[in-house]
């Protein structure tokens, strides 16, 4: 069975009025934001907005001049959050959720917070079926734990009906190298941690079909420079509208050697092995608005954002 995964990163960037845009959560990391317009479009489009610790400082910098939505949450060890920024958002009612674990980064803690919101909603759906005092207690406890008044309560925001949300992390690439590799590791982790270990792969029955489309939640890393995600084993169809993306792209074998076939690139490959120390396709070019990549192992795909000028 061939698995087909479709990727449409441009959909997150389209205007809010446009329909069919996937609902997504946006995590802002602690990196400078040069392309304020591009970031603001993404921030406005997001359904759930989380600041990873010092990410809030950059948001605050933008909010001074722009009318943008406040975050739903600021989380992390909060060692980078400036006190004036924390006080500002606290006064506006933003949940500030400290997590001092020394075994998870602020990026991971932000993903955990998103997962918790979704899980709380799931349990609240089960809870509403039996409307007893025990459930009320559970909801109060959840509110105390996660600092979100609506968590687990009736009247939760509408995005939650679209959960699990896709997740975009903004600002993960191009800073500290260990943080960059950590972000790539999050892409690997995402395939099981954010989607549930058991939902992947074909079951016995689906082995008999020739192809299946995966509808798992996506995690993508975006910045003003690039968008990056981990292609899955099998066939990947990537929407690459050239009005939104620059032509330069790369296919990086971060999971080890892979045999790949591509369609739609200037230097297409046909059943070619890619591995570090062997052939790695960087500085390749998109030729069209849709690219296909078949890969035997997960493969990092990255492409440029289109520059305003």
Give 3-state DSSP helix, strand, coil % of the chain, rounded to 5: 30, 30, 40
**Residue showing the smallest CB distance to ligand ATP in the complex:** 175
Distance CA 125, CA 115 (A): 15
Q: Which of 10, 1, 67, 35 is nearest to 204 (CA)?
A: 1
Q: Does position 102 bind ligand VIB by CB under 6 A? A: yes
Q: Does 254 bind ligand VIB (CB under 6 A)?
A: no
Interface with ligand VIB includes 105 (CB under 6 A)? yes
Q: Collect all residues with Cβ–Cβ distance below 8 Å to 176 and sequence separation of at least 6.
A: none
- Smallest distance, ligand VIB to C-beta of residue 182, A: 8
Residues, the chain: 309
Q: Is 185 in the site for ligand VIB (CB under 6 A)?
A: no
- 45 interface partner picked from ligand ATP, ligand VIB, none, CB below 5 to 8 A per type: none
**CA-to-CA separations, 206 to 2, 212, 213, in angstroms, rounded:** 10, 8, 11
Per CB under 6 A, residues contacting ligand ATP are: 29-31, 52-55, 76-77, 79-80, 105-107, 172, 175-176, 179-180
Contact string (CB under 6 A) for ligand VIB, positions 61-100, x = contact: ----------------x-----------------------
Minimal CB distance residue for ligand VIB: 102
Partner interacting with residue 284 (select from ligand ATP, ligand VIB, none; CB below 5-8 Å by kind): none
CB 291 within 8 A of CB 299: no
d(CA 281, CA 261): 12
Contacts of 30 (CB under 8 A, 6+ apart): 52, 53, 54, 55, 57, 58, 80, 106, 171
Supply 210's token pair.
């020739």
Which residue's CB is nearer to ligand VIB, number 5 or number 179?
179
Site size toward ligand VIB (CB under 6 A) is 6
Nearer Cβ to ligand VIB, position 65 or 178? 178
103 binds ligand VIB (CB under 6 A): yes
Q: Tell me the CB-side half-sphere exposure of residue 14, using CA atoms within 13 A.
A: 13
Please report how close the Cβ of residue 99 comes to ligand ATP at its closest, in angstroms. 10
The residue among 20 and 102 lying less far from ligand VIB, judged by its C-beta, is 102
| 54 interface partner picked from ligand ATP, ligand VIB, none, CB below 5 to 8 A per type | ligand ATP
Where does this chain bind ligand VIB (CB under 6 A)?
Answer: 77, 102-106
């Amino acid at each position: 069975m061939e698995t087909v995964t479709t990727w449409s990163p441009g959909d997150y960037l389209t205007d809010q009025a446009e329909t069919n845009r996937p609902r997504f959560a946006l995590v802002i990391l602690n990196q400078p934001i040069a392309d304020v317009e591009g970031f603001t479009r993404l921030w406005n489009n997001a359904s759930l907005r989380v600041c990873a610790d010092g990410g809030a400082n950059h948001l605050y910098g933008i909010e001074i001049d722009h009318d943008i939505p406040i975050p739903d949450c600021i989380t992390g060890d909060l060692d980078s959050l400036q006190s004036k920024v924390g006080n500002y958002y606290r006064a506006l009612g933003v949940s500030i959720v400290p997590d001092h674990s020394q075994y998870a980064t602020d990026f991971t803690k932000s993903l955990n917070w998103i997962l918790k919101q979704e899980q709380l909603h799931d349990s609240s759906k089960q809870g509403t079926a039996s409307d007893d005092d025990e459930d009320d207690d559970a909801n109060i406890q959840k509110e105390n734990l996660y600092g979100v008044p609506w968590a687990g309560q009736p009247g939760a925001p509408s995005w939650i009906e679209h959960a699990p949300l896709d997740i975009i992390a903004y600002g993960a690439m191009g800073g500290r190298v260990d943080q960059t590799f950590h972000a790539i590791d999050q892409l690997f982790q995402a395939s099981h941690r954010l989607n549930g270990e058991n939902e992947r792969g074909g079951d016995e029955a689906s082995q008999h079909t020739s192809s299946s489309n995966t509808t798992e939640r996506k995690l993508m890393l975006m910045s003003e420079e690039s968008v990056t995600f981990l292609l899955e084993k099998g066939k990947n169809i990537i929407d690459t509208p050239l009005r939104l993306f620059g032509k330069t792209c790369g296919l990086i074998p971060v999971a080890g050697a892979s045999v790949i076939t591509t369609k739609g690139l200037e230097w297409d490959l046909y059943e070619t092995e890619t591995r570090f120390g062997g052939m790695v396709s960087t500085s390749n070019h998109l030729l069209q608005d849709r690219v296909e990549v078949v890969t035997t192992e997960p493969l990092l795909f990255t492409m440029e954002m289109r520059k305003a000028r």
